[in-house]
Structure 1
Amino acid sequence: MRTRRLSKDNTYLALKERIINIELKPGEAVQEENLAELLGVSRTPLREAIQRLENEDFLVRLPNGRLRVASVTTEEVKEIFLIRSMLEGYIAKNAAKNATEQDIEKLTAMIGNLKMSFQSGKSQDFVSYGFEFHDYLSEISELKTFVKILNQLRDHALRYCRFVSLHGDWNQQADEEHNLILQKIAARDEDGAEKAMQDHILSSLSAALERIEGIQAHREDGV
């Protein structure tokens, strides 16, 4: 039983990771047989993984019974990032209140990784380090309910950021925004940290919308 559960969970995580990392593209049709071969698993754990991912809106079951990866839409990204701005703003406020000197050192190291990945043009690494920074703020905020709700959106937000990064680099403003958040937290400026985080996520939303709308326009023009 324990082996079966482990296999089921690993299959779910492996399939979800491929969707988040855009290895399986938004709107792409998928078949159980091909997925089983891709992941090297049997149909039973795969079907359970698919059901979980359908429930989480990463996979969509069409009326004819076929499966596809959930599409990327401007409507969904607006909802996800607006909710994030409210939740993560308050998380940053509490992180500023709770952060120890050791926390500030860890956050500073994360900002260093962010800056290095930005300067070297490694956009996917920039996304990874950015989420590491956000996740650590969630941890030190000690807001269990806020973080629990945020975690339901986290992987969807990560998928959008990965998607955007595949179609161009983030601008310098995104790098500077992380620096400002850290400055406010280090200064114990709770209200400043909250506003800096909200502004950062809303700025990321604007960038995501611009990129997604541009991609959609090119597709409609047949480019």
Structure 2
Amino acid sequence: MENNFKVNMNEYLPLRDVVFNTLRQAILKGELAPGERLMEIQLAEKLGVSRTPIREAIRKLELEGLVLMIPRKGAEVAKISEKSLRDVLEVRRSLEELAIELACQRMTEEELAQLEQAQAAFSSAISRGVAMPIAETDEHYHDIIYQGTYNDKLVQMLNNLREQMYRYRLEYIKDEDKRQVLLVEHEHILAALKGRNIAEAKTAMREHIDNQEITVSRNIKEKEQEKPVRGRK
């Protein structure tokens, strides 16, 4: 188990919650890959804790659907399914369309300038070609739009959904052929916001999310087809 994640202690949280948050983020960011087994002893050694908080964290992750318990095998990271992808993106599509509509009306010129800077950082990350910085700059770009809605409840809902989106965002970005498409989609969204064109902005955001669903869904199907058929040599 060669992962870069580590436990970040928080004096205000019980150890079991710190371990849970650490493993959850590792799964959502792809540092613990779909299908990877979660070995209590190795995880305890890596995080410098006993097996008890590891076991408790795995149980909570199972309740969230991020971990599966396999009979006679143990715990493993849940694979990304078309159903889970569709469920998350259906919610995201609706929230993002509302966010872009409000942002069109409420973003200040200063915030639009920040969005242009975020787009430049996103473009730079794409040119370097490393998945995690691309995902992080993509997230920052969308965060500026969220804040530009000036709707705290909407921002809170989008932030809660964002964690569940990590796995799908990374899966999309891993497809190198789609990175330039992402860049163009961001440009369309930015142009519509600067023009205060609500209809164009909502269309651009919807296409942005639809393309993600199409690409990740195709990748899931391809991985399923690559699996060896049981009993076939």
Aligned residue in 1 for 2:208: 200
| 1:183 partnered with 2:223 | no
After alignment, is 19-28 or 41-50 more displaced?
Answer: 41-50
Give the CA deviation at 1:65: 8.5
Paired residues of 1:92 and 1:137 also in contact (CA < 8 A) = yes
Q: Does 1:114 align with 2:125?
A: no
Q: C-alpha displacement at 1:63, in angstroms?
A: 5.2
SS at match of 1:23: coil
- Deviations along 1:152-208, one digit per CA (max 9) or x if unpaired, are 432222112223434545342211001111111112222322221111111111111
Task: Name the residue aligned to 2:34.
Answer: 26
Say how many residue pairs are matched.
221
Where does the alignment leave 5 or more consecutive residues of structure 2 unmatched? 1-9
Alignment RMSD (CA, Å): 2.5
d(CA) in 2 for partners of 1:98 and 1:52? 39
Identity, in percent, stands at: 27
Which letter maps to 2:132?
Answer: Q
Q: Which residue, 201, 217, 223 being the options, matches 2:225?
A: 217
Q: How does 1:95-114 map to 2 (within 5 A)?
A: 95-114=103-122
Query: Of 138, 142, 149, which aligns to 1:141?
Result: 149
Segments of 5+ residues of structure 1 without an aligned counterpart are: none
SS at match of 1:141: coil
Distance in structure 2 (CA, Å) of the matches to 1:126 and 1:27 = 24
1:54 offset after TM fit, Å?
A: 2.6
Q: Using the alignment, how far apart are the partners of 1:114 and 1:133 within structure 2?
A: 8
Looking at structure 1, the residues matched to 33 and 153 of structure 2 have their Cα atoms a distance apart, in angstroms, of: 32
Kindly indicate whether residue 99 of structure 2 is the aligned counterpart of residue 79 of structure 1: no
Q: Work out whether residues 173 and 179 of structure 2, in 8 Å CA contact, stay in contact via their aligned partners in 1.
A: no
User: What's the CA shift for 1:4?
Assistant: 7.0
Confirm or deny: 8 A CA contact 1:82 1:202 kept in the other structure. Answer: no
The structure whose residues are more often helix, as a share, is: 1
TM-score, normalized by length of structure 1?
0.86
Match of 2:45 in 1: 37
Distance 1:193 1:130, change over 3 A: same
Aligned to 1:28, what secondary structure does the other structure show?
A: coil
TM-score by length of 2: 0.83
2:68 aligned counterpart, secondary structure: strand
In structure 1, C-alpha distance between the alignment counterparts of 2:57 and 2:165, rounded to whole Å: 20
Aligned partner letter, 1:218 = E
The alignment status of 1:54 with 2:62, answered yes or no, reads: yes
SS at match of 1:75: helix
Q: What secondary structure does 1:177 align onto? A: helix
- Asked if the contact 1:91–1:194 (Cα under 8 Å) also holds between the matched residues in 2, the reply is no
Contact between 1:20 and 1:156, CA under 8 Å: does it hold in 2? yes
Q: Which amino acid aligns with 1:54?
A: E
| 1:9-46 CA-partner distances (Å, limit 9, x unpaired) | 43223212221232221122212222111222223433
Letter matched to residue 104 of structure 2: A
Query: In the alignment, residue 52 of structure 1 is paired with which amino acid?
Result: K
Residue in structure 1 matching 2:100, options 92, 98, 117:
92
Alpha-carbon spacing, 1:31–1:3, altered in 2? closer, same or farther (3 Å): same
Residues 40, 4 of structure 1: alpha-carbon distance in 2 compared, 3 angstrom cutoff: farther
Please state whether the residue corresponding to 1:142 is helix, strand or coil: coil
**Cross-structure match for 2:3:** none
